Amino acid sequence: MSTVLLWLFLLGTFLYGLRFAIVLWRDQNKLGAIVVILIAIAIVIAPFLSGLRNYLI
């Protein structure tokens, strides 16, 4: 159950960041939008890297 809540939280954070990046892009802040998208992607990828690290060590 806690895993499902964690993924829902991560998905919500990703979608919020993506929507914010769209607003930044429309306001002609393209560099800021790109950085926000990269951070949102990192939020989704980080748990996989953490799990991989625990598997390898």
Which tens digit of pLDDT belongs to each residue from 10-39?
A: 899 999 999 999 999 999 999 999 999 999
Q: If we measure between CA atoms, which residue out of 11, 14, 13, 17 comes closest to residue 33?
A: 17
Whether 25 and 33 have beta carbons less than 8 Å apart is answered as yes
Q: Quick one: pLDDT at residue 48? A: 81
Q: How many domains does the chain have?
A: 1
3-class DSSP assignment, residue 42: helix
Q: Quick one: pLDDT at residue 38? A: 96
Residue 49 has pLDDT above 70, yes or no: yes
pLDDT band at 53 (very low <50, low <70, confident <90, very high): low
Q: Model pTM?
A: 0.77
Range of the domain at 40: 2-56
